[in-house]
Copies of this chain bind each other. A is one copy, B any other.
Amino acid sequence: MKVGIVGATGAVGRQMITCLEERNIPIEELRLFASDKSKGIKLPFHDTQIEVRVVEDGCFNGLEYVLGAVSNALSKQYRPMIEKAGAVYIDNSSAFRMEDDVPLVIPEINGEDALQHHGTIANPNCSTIITLMAVAPMNHLSKITSIQACTYQAVSGAGKQGIEELENEIQGKQAEAKVFPAQIAYNVIADIGTMLDNGYTTEEMKMQNEGRKILHLPDLKVTCTCVRVPVYRSHSISASVVTEQQISIEDAKNSIRQFDGDVLCEDTIPMPIDTSDQDLVYVGRIRRDLVNDKGLVVWCCGDQIRKGAATNAVEIMQYLNAH
């Protein structure tokens, strides 16, 4: 396979390279792209060093897939160039996720949607991926009608600069927040994304908007509160899930246990320190919703740079390649 990565030097980009290595995907050529300020940087891939390039006319020619780990603005710039070169663009940004022609895919849940692409496939939002990985097994048993979710999102969700800001603040080296709306060290911030008129943030609305598309549930209702916490890596989410028919706790556990990509935690509790640097989503604390007897409550945790971003994108590529 001939693969390109745009945004290769960022947290997600670097993770994509690692995922390609780990899965021993037969790569004939890996082309890495980054901004001008990363010029000259060489990144390791197996036993070679690959020098990053800038994006310019014709730079994608010959590639079959391009994985995107760049901002929405850059993604909008690169997409036509990638499609023109005939490569399939698997994009982590939120630029195209809700477009009708663009599949929005978590392979274990709706992999087949990827086959409908018209050149671009979108990778969903990180906390949405992790939450849906946890609740999709229940959707198999009975249609989900609503979700109440509260997130506990790691700082690396804002990239390398998010990690540095927390580090600096802990070490007393930074007095004023630049990346986050306020100090994140020893604090929690219920403000991720941009505030909308309905009082929710863009980050919070993703869980409903993207959830509907991925689960094929156009009437799914999701109330979400997204909160940044002083954790480096791995997002955690508490989710109350109501289904059309009541699902027993045993049935839910069995479904999660059998669900590819999930780990059922029965005697342990999913935590960032355990889920970081691996690809599975840990799901535990499964119990009855005391407010609604057709509801179950779960606690899930996953590495949002991996399954929440890089790994999911690589898995989409592997899915396409296999079908």
Contact = CB atoms under 8 A, between A and B. Distances in A.
Contact of A187 (B240, B242, B271): B271
B223 A188 contact: no
Interface stretch (A43-51, A57-65, A122-130, A281-289): A281-289
B198 A287 contact: yes
Interface string A178-189: 000111001111
Interface in A230-277: 230-232, 236, 238, 240, 242, 249, 269-273
Copies in the complex: 2
Contacts of A240: 148, 223
A170 B269 CA distance: 22
A134 interface: no
Interface residues of A, number: 49
The A interface, classified by DSSP as helix, strand, loop or mixed, is mixed
Contacts of A229: 152, 188, 229-230
Contacts of A273: 182-183, 186-187
A242 B186 CA distance: 31
A188 B146 contact: no
Contacts of A198: 287-288
Interface in A169-203: 170, 181-183, 186-191, 198-200
A96 interface: no
A208 interface: yes
Contacts of A269: 181, 189-191
A84 B259 CA distance: 61
Interface string A206-242: 0010000000000001110101011110001010101
Nearest to A227: B152
Contacts of A186: 230-232, 272-273
